[in-house]
Structure 1
Amino acid sequence: MTIDRVHVAVEGPVDDAELDAVHASAFGSGPAGVPWNRRLRHHSLFWVTARSGDKLVGFVNVIGDGGAHAVLLDTCVSPDRQGEGIGRELVRVAAQEARHRGSRWLHADYLSEHASFYEDACGLRPTRAGLLDLTPSTS
């Protein structure tokens, strides 16, 4: 699928460094050197990429339980391309593909500042969920 000269693809090719750079810029952190391809191959149901020419400008990873539940992770769009509908299209394509693969529910955890994107732009409904921080305490 192509929107405004951006090509969106299920399981589009990604380079670890380019995905690390897009992820870092979208989440406001430094590149972490994540072995993305290994993670995607071993832990994902699938992923969706958005490219403008040969430049990666958006990404979402989808994991699941092998049945009814699929989960969006790492939804990110390059900051200079946010607001163009790329993220909404990534989630739309991810939902369509998850449904095609037999999932009934698409989950996403998000901070309150991202609620309008997930709820208004993408149609997700807010639910209660729990989260446990597994980072070792420094005290």
Structure 2
Amino acid sequence: MRNVYHILINPKILNHEVPNLRQSVGWERRDNDYPALFKHCLFWAGLRDKNGSLIAFGYIVGPGIEHGYMEDIIVHPNYQGEGIGRALVQKLLNESQKRGMSIVTVTFEEKNMSFYMSCGFNPCHGGVWRKK
């Protein structure tokens, strides 16, 4: 039986919730990014558990005309492996399409390639610049 997740677009998220979720997966908290990040997003998606805790989050940024960039697909470790990540990505892609975008890009580590391919992404060459 396939689980149905009620992932919401642009749900209310408190400033500490995404940093807590980032920390749960071993990422830097980046507390200063919130709530400013929401002002720069085209939209975001979130899922809460039965207790109301944020357990999944991701967002799309970019010009929003034809192209968007998917960022920070996060699922709390206690909920990984249940299809939530795939459902979150699909929700973001569906919303992108509703808003007229025909291209969504994402950058991922090689270990996550099969996940993103299963979500419909085609790997391609690209580059990343980072401030030194």
CA deviation after TM superposition for structure 1 residue 29, in Å:
3.3
Give the gaps of 5 or more residues in structure 1: none
8 Å contact from structure 1 (residues 8, 49) kept in 2: yes
Aligned length: 130
Per-residue CA deviations over 1:26-56 (Å, capped at 9, x if unaligned) read 2x13533233222112x11000001112110
CA deviation after TM superposition for structure 1 residue 92, in Å:
0.4
Which amino acid counterpart does residue 43 of structure 2 have in structure 1?
A: F
Q: 1:111 and 1:30 mapped to 2: Cα distance?
A: 16
Residue of structure 1 aligned with 2:64, choices 31, 53, 66: 66
TM-score, L = length of structure 1: 0.86
Secondary structure of the equivalent of 2:101?
Answer: coil
TM-score, L = length of structure 2: 0.90
Return 99-108 or 31-40, whichever deviates more.
Answer: 31-40
Per-residue CA deviations over 1:77-135 (Å, capped at 9, x if unaligned) read 00111111111011101000001001010110001011111112x1111011111121x
Is it true that 1:13 corresponds to 2:15 in the alignment? no
* Alignment-derived partner of residue 45 in structure 1: 42
> Aligned in 2, Cα 1:30/1:38: closer, same or farther, shift over 3 Å?
closer
Which amino acid counterpart does residue 22 of structure 2 have in structure 1?
A: H
In proportion to residue count, which structure has more strand? Answer: 1
8 Å contact from structure 1 (residues 20, 34) kept in 2: no
* Alignment-derived partner of residue 92 in structure 1: 90
Q: 2:8 and 2:113 mapped to 1: Cα distance?
A: 25
Q: 2:70 and 2:4 mapped to 1: Cα distance?
A: 24
CA deviation after TM superposition for structure 1 residue 13, in Å:
1.2
| Counterpart mapping for 1:51-130 below 5 A | 51-53=48-50, 54-120=52-118, 122-130=119-127
CA deviation after TM superposition for structure 1 residue 6, in Å:
4.2
